[in-house]
């Protein structure tokens, strides 16, 4: 799967680990930064990932910041993006099944690498259920 990934400074270490693991698993991962622990602004990294996904150049996006909330807010400003903050496995599964989320946002403050990878794995392997959920998802963009 072709994935877009990015973080701000608070999510940098976790993003690096996720990127390396996903690449080792055979995914094509496009990294939009940041590339250090130096303080930076999360929208500068959320927007490129969101555009890659909304314009179809990447199938899904992964964003990491301190809480996941700021990245989610910024990514959701891009039409066609459905970004969800995920902390629990059930959320990762349901946001794909029910909401057809195409970007996952993670909070590095709350997740260690194994837990974050579990969430990403669920996000990447769970299919959208469609049906009544498709009608609801279609109503998101008006």
Dump pLDDT digits (tens) for 69-89. 999 999 999 999 999 999 999
CATH 3.10.20.600 assigned to domain 2-138? The reply is: no
Distance CA 120, CA 109 (A): 16
Beta bridge partners of 104: 62, 84
Q: Is 58 a catalytic residue?
A: no
Integer-rounded Cα Rg, in Å, for the chain is: 14
Q: What is the pTM of this model?
A: 0.96
Q: Is 65 an annotated catalytic residue?
A: yes
- The two tokens of residue 1 are 């799967």
Residues 136, 33: Cα–Cα separation, whole Å? 33
Question: Could you give the C-alpha distances from 64 to 23, 80, 102, 140, in angstroms and in order?
Answer: 17, 20, 14, 24
Q: What is the pLDDT of residues 79-135, one digit of tens each?
A: 999 999 999 999 999 999 999 999 999 999 999 999 999 999 999 999 997 888 988
8 Å CB contact between 83 and 54: no
Domain spans in the chain, listed from the N-terminal domain onward? 2-138
Of residues 139 and 29, more confidently modeled: 29
In terms of Cβ atoms closer than 10 Å to its own Cβ (0-12, 13-18, 19+), residue 140 is exposed
**Which among 9, 51, 58, 65 is annotated as catalytic?**
65
What is the C-alpha to C-alpha distance for residues 127 and 104, in angstroms, rounded to an integer? 14
Question: Which entry of 27, 40, 47, 98 is annotated as an active-site residue?
Answer: 98
Sheet with strand 2-7: strands edge to edge: 28-31, 2-7, 60-65, 103-107, 83-85
Q: Which residues pair with 61 in a beta bridge?
A: 4, 103
How many Cβ atoms are within 10 Å of 105's Cβ, its own excluded? 29
């Amino acid at each position: 799967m072709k994935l877009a990934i990015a973080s701000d400074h608070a999510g940098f270490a976790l993003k690096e680990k996720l990127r390396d693991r996903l690449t080792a698993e055979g995914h094509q991962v496009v990294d939009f930064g940041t590339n250090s622990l130096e303080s930076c602004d999360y929208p500068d990294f959320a927007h490129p990932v969101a555009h890659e996904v909304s314009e179809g150049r990447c199938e899904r996006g992964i964003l990491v910041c301190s809480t996941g909330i700021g990245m989610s807010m910024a990514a959701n400003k891009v039409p066609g993006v459905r970004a969800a903050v995920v902390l629990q496995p059930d959320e990762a599964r349901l946001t794909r099944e029910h909401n057809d989320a195409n970007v996952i946002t993670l909070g590095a403050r709350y997740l260690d690498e194994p837990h974050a990878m579990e969430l990403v794995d669920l996000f990447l392997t769970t299919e959208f259920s469609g049906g009544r959920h498709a009608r609801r998802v279609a109503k998101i963009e008006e």
